[in-house]
Amino acid sequence: MALTSRERVRRAAVKLFATKGFHGTGIRDLAQAAKLSSASLYHYMGTKEQLLAEIMLDCLQRLLDAAARELDGVDDPVERIGRLVTLHVTTHARQPNETRVVDNHVDVLSPRARRAVVDVRDTYEQLWSDAIDDGLRSGVFATTQPAATRIALLEMCNGVARWYSPRGPLTLEQLAAHYVQLAHRALGVPDMRR
């Protein structure tokens, strides 16, 4: 099935923004990569910033929706963190360009566009905070710095987008399981719960 012009623009933008950066990507670059003329490009994207914000919002919303599905009906904070880590690692490994765009370009957005993106990101990160807080309250987590630990875990998982290769020594499932173990250790989960 052939891609629509709008899908070609989006794919080109994701690849270029991830590799050249937002400011390093020109309109001509986008048009050439999408196989469109520069003049017709705006018909499919609005401004370059609108395109970036749309990509970021879409990626974050898909991640948030997937997390909500993963956590539906799961009360145990150890299991919730495990599922969040697994989802974050696998998403970053499977969609490295999209996740690099989301993780690295918030600061280039105007305040209004940034607020919308940050709101969705914060809602997603609140799932992590809630799981950690619940684990601390129930005594299964022992970190003295829950906010810093949450940020460290997210950054650890984000890094997968920069280096993971399916040709490496670990399958994606093995890597995700290892990251879950690392997260459990960082949160002070007792050995018998890991």
Residues 185 and 121 in one domain: yes
Cβ neighbours for 102, distance < 8 A, ≥ 6 positions apart: 55, 56, 59, 60, 117, 121
Output the pTM of the full model: 0.91
Q: What residues have CB less than 8 Å from 128, skipping those under 6 apart?
A: 81, 84, 150, 153, 154
Same structural domain for residues 17 and 93? no
The per-residue pLDDT for 91 is: 97
Domain boundary among 10, 28, 46: 46
In this structure, the answer to whether residues 106 and 172 fall within a common structural domain is: yes
Which CATH number covers residue 164?
1.10.357.10
Same domain, 97 and 167: yes
Beta carbons within 10 angstroms of residue 169's beta carbon: 7
On the question of pLDDT at 75 being above 60, the answer is yes
Assign 37 a pLDDT band (cuts: 50, 70, 90). Answer: confident
How many domains are there within the chain?
A: 2
What residue numbers bound the domain in which 30 lies? 1-46
Q: So what's the pLDDT on residue 193?
A: 53
Do 25 and 74 share a structural domain? no
The proportion of the chain whose per-residue pLDDT surpasses 90, expressed as a percent, equals 81
User: Same domain for 84 and 175?
Assistant: yes
Same domain, 132 and 179: yes
Query: Alpha-carbon distance 101 to 105, whole Å?
Result: 6
Residue at 184: amino acid letter: H
* Mean pLDDT along residues 48-58: 94
**162 & 83 share domain:** yes
